[in-house]
Amino acid sequence: MPTSSSRSTRRLGGSLAKHATLIAVSVLLGFPLFWMVLTSLKTNPQSLAVPPLWWPHPFVWRNYPEMLSAVPFWRFVLNTLMYAGVTIVGVCVSSSLVAYGFSRIRWRGRDILFQVMVGTLLIPFFATLIPLFTMYKNFHMVGWYLPLMIPTFLGSSVFSTFLLRQFFMAIPESLSDAARVDGANEFTIFSRIILPMAKPALATVILFQFIYCWNDFIGPLIYINNQVWYPLSLGLNLILGTYTTNWPWVMAAATAATAPIIVLFFFTQRTFIKGISIQGTGVKG
Amino acid sequence: MKDQEGQESYAPGRTSRRRSRFLGWNRRLAVALAAVTVVGTVSLGAAGGGTAGAVSSTTRAPVVNLTWWTMWSGTTLQLLNTMVTQFNKTHPGIHVTETNIPSSATTSTAKLLSTIAAGDPPDIFTEWWPEIGSFAADGDIVNMNQYLTGQYAGFEKWEYPVAVQAASYKGGLYAVPMSLNSWALYYNTPLLAEFGIKSPPKTLAQFDADQAKMWTFSGSRIVTMGFYPDTDGNGFQFYTTFFGATNCFNKAGKYDFESCPGAKAEMNWIASFDKYPYAQVMAEQTALGYVAGGQTDIFTNGKSGFELSGPWVGAQNIPVSNPDLEGRFGVEAFPGIVPKPSTLGQGNFNIIPKGSAHPAQAFEFISWLAGYHNESFVGSIDPTGGWVPAGPTVTKAPKYQAWLKANSWLSGFLPQMTSPYTQAPLLTATQAQLFTAENTATANVLQKIMTPSQALKYIDQQANASS
Amino acid sequence: MQVDVQTNKSPTAPLTVASTRRRGSLRSPHRRALRLGLLFVSPWIAGFLLFFAYPFFATIYYSFTDFNGVGAAHWIGFTNYVNLFHDPLFKTSLFNTFYYTVIELPLSTVAALGLALLLNMNVRGRAVYRTIFYIPSIVPLVASCMIFVWLFNPAFGIVNDLLIDAHLPSPDWFFSVALSKPSFILLGLWGLGQPMVIYLAGLQGVPRDMYEVAALDGASAWKRFRYITLPMISPVILFNVILQLVLCISYFTQAQVIEAADPGGPGTSTWFYVQYLYEQAFLFLKLGYSSAMAFFLFVISAVIMVVLFRSSARWVYYANEQQ
């Protein structure tokens, strides 16, 4: 019979093992970023030193204010926030509706149409670029974010729709049935029952859409013509010199672009990782 | 867990009364949804459309607005902004707006081509030269011959001959240089001295012998090196004038590098470097900035005895990345098998895309940028960029002359521009394929994946493919 | 009352819904359901018709022409497709992409799930670990490529430094013909934050008491994983696998950024399909040919996707009993 002290020793040992593994993987995954931040604080020659230099001597903190003032950094951030904000609304509204239709109602041809939707991901962007661009031009949408924003209100984010559909499918049909029996119409079921239960999934979608917009390069590159409206991803490119590369600045720019998301993720990750708590017959999440 | 009863809930008959209510609700909500979407979209469109073209333009009367897209950034961009400001000041009827198009992963051509296809391109675009042939052949860019009248009648004569050569397709002028490049051999004086090389080589044989002395390793890592034919876009094509291999065509007008003696000599010379570790050299080049499009490289870092490059290395790269090297390097004509000096004729060119709203004014702008009737201004800007201008009279401008005098190492670059051995590759519809194939061939030969003759055959095959 | 998922709802048993009242074809409840379903899905249908259909069919049309981007497109029938099959670079790039997909897809699935399992453990400070594990996938792509290449640089990099110190072979990673693709695979494994988070969300949705019951019944950790965890998260497994598939077959940006100096990598070992497509379209201005490449890729990957979806009926378990 294990004694209480040996049981707690085992628990302590188990906990140590867990932490050790986590720390080991953290080092592997986190090391390149650690390097990125360190490099951002070096001088240019130091960043190119062989053998590689670990610690900057001294810490060149002014890389950050210098880099940030070389380009209209905050303007770019604002543009990106606007881009992200609008598309998040569009995605939440349209993708949840479409996902509901593909999961909570059984109708003929549903699954085939769903696979068609997922299939639209399979054609490479550059292949359809010319006709796509010409089409947007004929709709008078080119020059600003319109080709990137409007489609999100029409279910263009297959990623979000697919993800929400998978989560919606995990909710027991009995909940919907009970509501239908009570006389609720489909939209009420959608908005009052399913959607609240999928809050974590929605939060996940919002986070991913935000990050997608934050880093989206190709889309804005093709459709936006006015430098004033560039998002951060394009604006940072202005820092990369044509003939000389200021590595510390590049890394500082990357750090500055990543830091807000790290903070955002850290404080919100509980919300969406919590998963779906399935109410009803005593199931806890 | 789960409700085990699984009731069927669509029992017909029970729903007849409720159905009309359901549909009423659903229909109302559907309409509301559609309305919200439409209203939202329209208002977004209005907002976006309103601001889409909003560029500050504080001019009054009918002014021609030109848009100029370039891929320049960093300090070069600041130079360009200076030029644009000056132009707008001195040309009240035209207003140029310059936009930087980030070209990470070289996607700027995709953007340009889309706008040309859609009929709404920028008025001027700074293009990378191998595309000019393809663009011209496909009718994507404007033939500028129609503008070479009046005060521009002498434009082509004003330019360096090679600038015209590099931009002509079937008798039409399709591009004007923003800056030309002149390629010569840099050498690191103290490093050469370390290996007992007192003066830079004057013959190819001497060069080969000298550079071979300078390779030292620490384990598998390169400590110092002599020379390596760059494969980062500076491959086979860039040495062709030194070997007489720039334009090798057969009687039928097809590319024929395979039978060209100069090309064979050149490819064999390149192959002689396959005894050096390709991966290590490429690794050094990449780490030092080629990935980001920069050109801080092994020579600038002081580790290489020789390098083939242009004036920007001495004018920008070295002062910014490695000031220690200032004053300790020299430049001389590359010792090829063809009489010296010579350089490949290429550079960065401005083109006018087809569909540009104001091509005549666009030409006015790009010829001004090149320095035509604008020598003293451009002559004051070029030194900062380390650029060779499009025409010789610009080099006579006082600031440019002062720059030349202050940097003796520059004396190697200019005479090459007017040398009879300086050539530009003939523009053809498959110029992009040719250039790509030449680079691939160089890389393959250096990695021993192809023999020199296989490489030449490959180049011919790719460049002669139907377009 | 607990229901044992393992016995009643085995993921391998075909799911049927008892129906005593559905007879005949499209009776009014079905028409109603069809109407409702289409209504909900209508935003996507509108977007599809407006923004996707024309470019998609235009691309297919162009694949049968000699379109150069601007100007007229002349019909040339199957010429592009015939030329494709005689094009060595087409075959190489197809092979490279296929190689990458076949290795990266299972590896990344296992790795992302493994990471998620680690992060699902009940330890203090998990928020910190989760953030650290997630960060690599949100660093701007260009920066993360550069950092990675730098670290693995045979001339400069830390990794080779450490290998040399440990007297292990120090390969040329991205610059060697043999190891270039595996280097890209490593890069892909590093940035698995997104699927990892989704697996984590799925894991958190598995009811705890299921594990407790199974443990009480004497099931081992592996049995619990195999018969509870996997089926319960199978919907997100399907999701992540399909998305990874899409990412793998369209692999472009990372290769383009890393090989700016030497497109295709050493030899042609890292010439990926979409890179070649891009070169044909926007460097050589052969848009008919590139459209043929695109359509070919589409057909192959659509087949793979349909097979995946079909097979999912057997291994994906949706708690609401619908497929």
- Phi-psi sector, A48: left (phi>0), alpha (psi -120 to 50), beta: alpha
Mean predicted confidence (pLDDT) in C33-55: 93
Name residue, tokens 């290998």: C163
Mean predicted confidence (pLDDT) in B166-187: 93
Residue C311 included in any domain: yes
Mean predicted confidence (pLDDT) in C93-99: 95
Looking at the partner chain, which of C38, C128, C205 has a beta carbon nearest the beta carbon of A276? Answer: C205
Nearest CA in chain B to C31: B10
Domain boundaries along the sequence of chain B: 64-180+345-409, 184-344+422-463
Alpha-carbon distance B383 to nearest alpha carbon in chain C (angstroms): 27
CB contact under 8 A, A162 and C305: no
Residues A201, A183: contact at Cβ < 8 Å?
no
Question: DSSP class of residue B82?
Answer: H
Those chains having 3 or more beta-carbon pairs within 8 angstroms of chain C are A, B
Residue C64, CB-side half-sphere exposure with 13 Å CA sphere: 7
Does residue B6 belong to the interface with chain A, where contact is any CB pair within 8 Å?
yes
- Is the model more confident about C127 or about B168? B168
Confidence band, pLDDT 50/70/90 cuts, at residue C41: very high
Residues C175, C155: contact at Cβ < 8 Å?
no
What number of C-beta contacts closer than 8 Å exist between A and C?
A: 291
Looking at the partner chain, which of A48, A177, A227 has a beta carbon nearest the beta carbon of B7? Answer: A177
Q: Which two tokens stand for residue B35?
A: 């309305």
Helix axes C193-204, C88-120, angle to 10 degrees: 40
Those chains having 3 or more beta-carbon pairs within 8 angstroms of chain B are A, C
pLDDT, position C305: 94
d(Cα A199, Cα A277) in Å, to the nearest integer? 10
Q: Which of B228-232, B384-388, B417-421, C264-268 has the lowest mean pLDDT?
A: B228-232
Tens digit of pLDDT for each residue in A81-113? 999 999 999 999 999 999 999 998 889 899 999
Q: Which of A273, A102, B42, A147 is nearest to C201 (CA)?
A: A273
Tens digit of pLDDT for each residue in B92-114? 999 999 988 877 556 778 899 99
Mean predicted confidence (pLDDT) in C223-243: 90
C:264-323 residues touching chain B, CB 8 A cutoff: 264, 266-268, 278-279, 281-286, 319, 321
Confidence band, pLDDT 50/70/90 cuts, at residue B24: very low
Does residue C257 belong to the interface with chain B, where contact is any CB pair within 8 Å?
yes
Reported ipTM: 0.84
Cβ-based neighbour number of residue A88 at 10 Å: 21
Helix/strand/coil percentages in chain B, nearest 5: 50, 15, 35
Residue B123 scores a pLDDT above 50: yes
CB contact under 8 A, A170 and C277: no
Residue C259 scores a pLDDT above 50: yes
d(Cα B105, Cα C275) in Å, to the nearest integer? 10
Residues of chain C in contact with residue A51, where contact means CB-CB under 8 angstroms, are 161
- Residue of B17, B42, B43, B44 best to disrupt the A interface, most CBs of A under 10 A: B44
Domain CATH number, residue C108: 1.10.3720.10
Cis peptide upstream of residue B389 (ω within 30 degrees of 0): no
- Tell me, yes or no, whether A245 and A179 share the same domain: yes
CB contact under 8 A, B293 and A242: yes
Residue C251 scores a pLDDT above 80: yes
Does residue C284 belong to the interface with chain A, where contact is any CB pair within 8 Å?
no
Confidence band, pLDDT 50/70/90 cuts, at residue B257: very high
Mean predicted confidence (pLDDT) in A6-30: 80
pLDDT, position C53: 94
Q: Which of C114, C100, C109, C116 is nearest to C240 (CA)?
A: C109
Tens digit of pLDDT for each residue in C184-222? 999 999 889 889 988 988 888 788 888 888 888 888 888
- Tell me, yes or no, whether A23 and A137 share the same domain: no
Confidence band, pLDDT 50/70/90 cuts, at residue B298: confident
DSSP A169-192: HTS-HHHHHHHHHTT--HHHIIII
CB contact under 8 A, B432 and C71: no
Q: Candidates 1.10.10.10, 3.40.190.10, 3.30.9.100, 3.30.930.10; correct CATH number of B64-180+345-409?
A: 3.40.190.10
Q: Which two tokens stand for residue B56?
A: 């500050």
Residues C63, C81: contact at Cβ < 8 Å?
yes
CB contact under 8 A, C318 and A15: no
pLDDT, chain C, mean:
85
Q: How many percent of chain A have pLDDT more than 90?
A: 32
- Tell me, yes or no, whether A116 and A23 share the same domain: no
- Do the domains spanning B64-180+345-409 and B184-344+422-463 agree at the CATH topology level? yes
CB contact under 8 A, C44 and A108: no
Lateral strand order in the sheet of B306-309: B306-309, B184-188, B329-332
pLDDT, position B455: 95
Mean predicted confidence (pLDDT) in A21-49: 83
- Is the model more confident about B297 or about B17? B297
pLDDT, position B231: 54
- Tell me, yes or no, whether A98 and A211 share the same domain: yes
Q: Which of C188, C321, C313 is nearest to C249 (CA)?
A: C188
Tens digit of pLDDT for each residue in C150-175? 888 887 788 888 888 888 888 888 88
Residues C262, B282: contact at Cβ < 8 Å?
yes
Q: How many percent of chain B have pLDDT more than 70?
A: 83
Whole-prediction pTM value?
0.86
Residues of chain C in contact with residue B5, where contact means CB-CB under 8 angstroms, are none
Alpha-carbon distance C136 to nearest alpha carbon in chain A (angstroms): 7
Residues C292, C81: contact at Cβ < 8 Å?
yes
What is the residue range of C102's domain? 81-140+191-315
d(Cα C110, Cα C118) in Å, to the nearest integer? 12
What is the residue range of A31's domain? 4-39
CB contact under 8 A, C59 and A217: no
Looking at the partner chain, which of C1, C267, C285 has a beta carbon nearest the beta carbon of B134? Answer: C285
Which homologous superfamily does the CATH classification assign to the domain defined by B184-344+422-463?
Answer: Periplasmic binding protein-like II (3.40.190.10)
Tens digit of pLDDT for each residue in A209-244? 998 998 898 899 899 988 889 998 888 777 665 434
Q: Which of C62, C80, C79 is nearest to C71 (CA)?
A: C62
Residue C48 included in any domain: no
Tens digit of pLDDT for each residue in C282-301? 989 999 999 999 999 999 99
Residue C231 included in any domain: yes
Nearest CA in chain C to B108: C282
pLDDT, chain B, mean:
83
- Tell me, yes or no, whether A81 and A35 share the same domain: no
- Residue of B51, B114, B225, B304 best to disrupt the A interface, most CBs of A under 10 A: B114
Mean predicted confidence (pLDDT) in B159-179: 94
C:167-186 residues touching chain B, CB 8 A cutoff: 170, 172, 175-177
CB contact under 8 A, B291 and C39: no
DSSP B279-293: HHHHHHHIIIIITTT
Give the number of domains in chain C: 1
Residues of chain C in contact with residue B117, where contact means CB-CB under 8 angstroms, are 69-70
Confidence band, pLDDT 50/70/90 cuts, at residue B153: very high
3-state secondary structure of A272: helix
pLDDT, position B428: 92
